[in-house]
Structure 1
Amino acid sequence: MELQPGSVVVDGTLGGAGHSRRISEQIGETGHLIAMDRDELAIQRAEVLLSGTPTTLIHGNFCDLPEYLPQLEVTHVDAILLDLGLSSDQLADDTRGFSFDANGPLDLRFDTTRGEPASRLVQRLTAEHLADLIYEFGEERYSRRIARAIVGARRTTPITTAEDLASIVRRAIPHNKRDRIDPATRTFQALRIAVNDELRSLENALRRMPDCLSDGGRLAIISFHSLEDRRVKEAFRDDARLEV
């Protein structure tokens, strides 16, 4: 992002603080790093990892950046970085449900203090709504078969762990129709996106963040899957405030 000493930079997806540590080195003691994450555990870890750096930590959604800047007496920033998707710390935490084989709760929330965990979602949605969700957010061609399997399984036993759900999804997809990725991948992606309202957050950020940038400021976004990638590319193509 061609950062200079003294730059004011936002890392909107703090995660394990890898990007933030590199940014803090580049902007130096005269700079200001604003590091945000919806995951409270990421904020707590960063208090140690970024200790001694000119960093403000915010437990919040990056799409709400315009509300936070006035509180920090910051009018514009020189650069914003978003690295979308999961962090390695979240994936490794068996209590969060992001790993398919975890025997912990099927949660999937980035912010465990807000919203509805995925276990409740799979218990209350109809087969039709589940199928639509898995197809729209997971681009899963076997969404209806998977949704029927989930509804059938929950009639007998509540689906409470990631391992429970992954087993149901794997059984629902024929062996001869499977891709190289784990059969549960797209279903977990869909539920995670729904639980965290990820695409709406991204759309709001793309609409609002350009106004937070100073003249010549840079917005850098690392996308993970096609649903994110499509929205980012469309924004950079259609928004006159953004230049590639």
Structure 2
Amino acid sequence: MKELNHIAVLPEEVIEGLNIKRDGTYIDCTFGQGGHSKLILSKLEKKGKLIAIDRDPKSISVAKKIKDSRFIIKHGLFSDIYQFAKEEKIVGKVNGILLDLGISMIQINDENRGFSFRRNGSLDMRMNPEVGIPAKKWLEKAKREEIELILRRYGEEKKSRKISRSIFRQNHKKNLKKITSTRQLVEIVSQIVSYKRKHPATRTFQAIRIHINNELEELKEVLEKSLMVLAPLSRIAVISFHSLESRIIKNFIKKYDSNSIINKKTFKKNIPEYIKLKLIEKIKPKRSEVYKNPKSRSALLRIIQFYIHE
């Protein structure tokens, strides 16, 4: 396996957008290889604190190499943000939350993880290989209609029916080899789909990955739970990479873009509170960043201001 360094997307813009306080408390919900976390730590003084979260055991191994009293790593889903904040006694005290929804190079560059359609390896796609069902097992067990639905819903793939038929046929017809590798899946899709500006398997791989890791429901949950841990006048920075993520984030902001009453039983003893979110800025990578890091080209950073009062 060839190792490539992961480059943090929009690093300067994230730091500026979070408006970091030297003694503040921050949560990086997607540690990855620690690019953003290390930048946040560089802006914190001795009383500052950074909690990082990741579900991938390899990312946890990287994080544990950081020997810093201001830094704590949590292994798990970022939808458990409230529980992690409760454990560290920082509920209602968090000054900023970062969500970088991109895939880590740790995952892409390891062919045995099955995330890359450009590398041949086991068709797994689990962000935590110790939990859940691999993509190849799901494709083998799923009904054709279910595969079609997932490709259409999470990949927005126009030829989802044809692709699902080919996948189902390959896995269920006698004398045909079941799909167990990324190369097999790519070959099937490439016979049906052709895009001018992207790999033919892009949408299929995206859809299956999102389904296997329950990514969109996780995103909805972490956004809502973030409201339970943030301090007044704090910020949320979210980097999305495709329209499905973007739509969820836009709807979340819209839901709270005017004063909304929320009765949070887990926060401040049942006192109803007014919550308001305001989109401060939307930022895309500069040409110079895209040139250095082509994977950043589809990134979109949203900086959201959080207001709260009784």
Q: Give the conservation status (yes or no) of the 8 Å contact 2:186–2:201.
A: yes
Structure 1 gaps, min length 5: none
* Superposition deviation, residue 215 in structure 1: 0.8
Identity of aligned residues (%): 36
**Whole-Å Cα distance in 2 between the matches of residues 69 and 38 of structure 1?**
16
Does 2:70 align with 1:51? no
> How far apart in 2 are the matches of 1:109 and 1:28?
36
Further displaced range: 100-109 or 33-42: 100-109
Cα distance in 1, alignment partners of residues 31 and 96 from structure 2: 14
Separation of aligned partners in 2, 1:53 and 1:22: 16
C-alpha displacement of 1:101: 3.2
Instruction: State the distance in 2 between where 1:47 and 1:9 align.
Output: 18
State the structure with more CA Rg: 2
Using the size of structure 1 for normalisation, the TM-score is 0.95
More helix by share: 1
Alignment of 1:143-182 (within 5 A): 143-154=160-171, 155=173, 156-173=176-193, 175=194, 178-182=195-199
2:242 to 225, 230, 233: 225
> What are the residue-to-residue correspondences of 1:5-16 with 2, within 5 Å?
5-16=22-33
Q: How many residues align?
A: 240
In terms of fraction of residues, the more strand-rich structure is 2
TM-superposed CA distance for 1:102, in Å, is 2.5
Q: Distance in 2 between matches of 1:80 and 1:100?
A: 31
What is the alpha-carbon distance in structure 2 between the residues aligned to residue 234 and residue 27 of structure 1?
A: 32
Aligned equivalents of 1:120, 1:14: Cα separation in 2: 28
Q: Secondary structure at the match of 2:228?
A: helix
**2:100 corresponding residue in structure 1:** 83
Distance 2:69 2:119 in 1: 35
Q: Which amino acid aligns with 1:129?
A: E
The aligned runs of 1:1-244 (5 Å cut-off) are 1-48=18-65, 50-52=66-68, 54-75=70-91, 76-154=93-171, 155=173, 156-173=176-193, 175=194, 178-239=195-256, 240=260, 241=275, 242-244=277-279
SS at match of 1:109: coil
Change over 3 Å in CA distance of 1:17–1:35 after alignment to 2: same
Q: Secondary structure at the match of 1:34?
A: strand
State the alpha-carbon separation in 2 of the partners of residues 214 and 68 from structure 1: 16
Which letter does structure 1 place at the counterpart of 2:109?
A: A
TM-score between the two structures when normalised by the length of structure 2? 0.75
Is contact 1:102-1:161 (8 Å) kept? no
CA distance in 2, matches of 1:187, 1:33: 36
Residues 58 and 106, structure 2, Cα contact 8 Å, conserved in 1 = no
Task: Determine helix, strand or coil for the equivalent of 1:43.
Answer: helix
Give, in whole Å, the separation in 1 of the partners of 2:243 and 2:34: 25
Contact 1:10 1:81 in 2 (8 A): yes
Paired residue secondary structure (1:36): strand
Give distance in 1, aligned partners of 2:69 and 2:45: 8
Task: Tell me how far apart the structure 2 counterparts of residues 170 and 71 of structure 1 sit (CA, whole Å).
Answer: 48
Once residues 114 and 95 of structure 1 are traced to their aligned partners in structure 2, the CA distance between those partners, rounded to angstroms, is 16
SS at match of 2:64: helix
